[in-house]
Amino acid sequence: MDLLATTSAVAVSSYALLSTIYKSAQALYAQPPANSSLQDNLGRSEAVLPSVDVIVPCFNEDPITLAQCLDSLASQDYTGKLQVYVVDDGSANRDLVAPVHKIYANDPRFSIILLANNVGKRKAQIAAIRSSSGDLVLNVDSDTILAADVVTKLVLKMHDPEVGAAMGQLVASNRSQTWLTRLIDMEYWLACNEERAAQARFGAVMCCCGPCAMYRRSALALLLDQYEAQFFRGKPSDFGEDRHLTILMLKAGFRTEYVPDAIAATVVPDSLGPYLRQQLRWARSTFRDTFLALRLLPGLDGYLTLDVIGQNLGPLLLALSSLAALAQLLIAGSVPWWTGLTIAAMTMVRCSVAALRARELRFLGFALHTPINIFLLLPLKAYALCTLSNSDWLSRKVANVPAEGEKQSVILHPNAGRHAASKRGMSGTIHKAGLSSPESSLTAAKSVCGCDRSTACK
């Protein structure tokens, strides 16, 4: 039984040492560079702003949620040319969302593409990308609301021709709904303002998150075929689009960046079941792209190697120490004090640093994430590693499939591509603690689908 105690103590001590080194370096590099404002001023000096195509793939989306998303796009303060492509990916609830489409049918900035069959998010994105011609492409999830200045701030970051992709900061639009949504909102803050911010110091954000990520079209043109034809063990990859496309950008030699003041609020799971299914998909996509990412490390800064080691070896050491401690408790009947105290101490240090950096005491409550990580997420990641070939989304409902031979239906406004001179006077401002709902589209969507935000329309 001494072997179990020794194994647990050595593993948790190694975990503590690795985490201390990794998190210290991460906290150091996550601080914004001193010349960031100069880069923004350089971008503002451009006489001609690049054109931007916004791609919004939708599948069985709640009409209210979709209306809020599209309203935030209509309310962007970007003065350059902006065109929005809403791609309905064979939704079964098309009759419910059709009135939302109708709201924007007369807006020359919006084009609605109706796919006859459900082809998946990746192919839905590609259909719109190949139907558009803007200098920059912004991918936005249909359950995401953008602050009014998001497009402008991302475009400023894309001023550097070496930048192939840039992402904004994600917050949970439904943060106050449950204890879990509050926890996920803090998890997003840490993922953006620690992990991505530190990676961005070296121009190598490893995953530009799907809810709000902008790409350079000239870079996409080089990578689109590779992106579309991703396979794993002979099967097409149906998720993990954002991570794979980011890795392809880095592989092609482009920089990938993070813009912390480009705020996007997205809906997050409000219960453990959907949350764990989401984490399972993400874990599989991360493992699938790990080997591709490893090949990039020799050409990147040494911190990125530490980042990969910290994110992969750290959880392995934590899992090993936890398993050995649990076995020690069940078999030998002795309490693994050293393991428990070390994990508790590391948790409180991390939460305290986060609370200090964010200037919010609520981050002390992120300590609850540790038992969830040990008892739920670590076993789930082990299961993901053993089931990498499974491409089931686990949460998507199957759309009604049209009769064989039915052609893809496309609705394009005759003035699509021309920039509207005036914009809707809608709010769209996202605050740090939440967001202000766009009342006009919300009221319109309620009137046409006869439901409120608390009622599922899927």
Are 45 and 19 in contact by the 8 Å Cβ rule? The answer is: no
Give the pLDDT score at 400.
38
Res 409 pLDDT > 70: no
Give the pLDDT score at 233.
65
Task: Count CB atoms within 10 A of the CB of residue 201.
Answer: 20
Q: What proportions of the chain, in percent to the nearest 5, are helix, strand and coil?
A: 50, 15, 35
Question: Could you tell me which residues are beta bridge partners of residue 120?
Answer: none
Whether 306 is covered by a domain: the verdict is yes
Confidence label for 48 from pLDDT (cuts 50, 70 and 90): confident
Whether 36 is covered by a domain: the verdict is no
Give the pLDDT score at 32.
82
Give the pLDDT score at 412.
43
Name the residue with tokens 């190598």: 204
Are 151 and 139 in contact by the 8 Å Cβ rule? The answer is: no
Question: Taking the model in full, what pTM does it have?
Answer: 0.85
- Rounded to an integer, the average pLDDT of 28-46 is 64
Are 438 and 71 in contact by the 8 Å Cβ rule? The answer is: yes
Task: Count CB atoms within 10 A of the CB of residue 81.
Answer: 18
CA atoms within 13 A on the CB side of 326: 8
Tokens at 113, concatenated: 């593409």
- Residue 334's domain spans which residues? 3-31+49-397+406-412
Radius of gyration (C-alpha) of the chain in whole angstroms = 23
Please give the Cα distance from 358 to 418 (Å, whole number).
41
Tokens at 414, concatenated: 């005759």
In this predicted model, which residue has the larger pLDDT, 266 or 409? 266
Give the pLDDT score at 250.
96
Three-state SS string over 329-351 comes to HHHHCCCCHHHHHHHHHHHHHHH
Whether 273 is covered by a domain: the verdict is yes
Q: What spatial distance separates the first Cα and last Cα of the chain, rounded to whole Å? A: 54
Give the pLDDT score at 241.
87
Q: In what helix (H) or strand (E) does residue 137 lie, and over which residues does it extend?
A: strand 136-140
- Rounded to an integer, the average pLDDT of 345-357 is 96
Whether 372 is covered by a domain: the verdict is yes
- Rounded to an integer, the average pLDDT of 12-28 is 96
**Helices and strands, counts by H and E, the chain:** 16, 11
**CATH number of 235's domain:** 3.90.550.10
Whether 319 is covered by a domain: the verdict is yes
Closest to 290 (Cα-Cα) out of 243, 226, 324: 243
Q: Would you give the DSSP letter of residue 328?
A: I
Give the pLDDT score at 388.
83
Task: Count CB atoms within 10 A of the CB of residue 383.
Answer: 13
State the burial class of residue 178 (Cβ atoms within 10 Å of its Cβ: 0-12, 13-18, 19+): middle
Please give the Cα distance from 101 to 98 (Å, whole number).
5
Res 413 pLDDT > 60: no
Name the residue with tokens 């639009």: 173
Whether 338 is covered by a domain: the verdict is yes
- Total tally of structural domains belonging to the chain: 1
Closest to 113 (Cα-Cα) out of 141, 96, 132: 132
Give the pLDDT score at 36.
57
Please give the Cα distance from 54 to 323 (Å, whole number).
47
What mean pLDDT, rounded, does the chain reach?
85
Question: Could you tell me which residues are beta bridge partners of residue 214?
Answer: 138, 166
Whether 41 is covered by a domain: the verdict is no
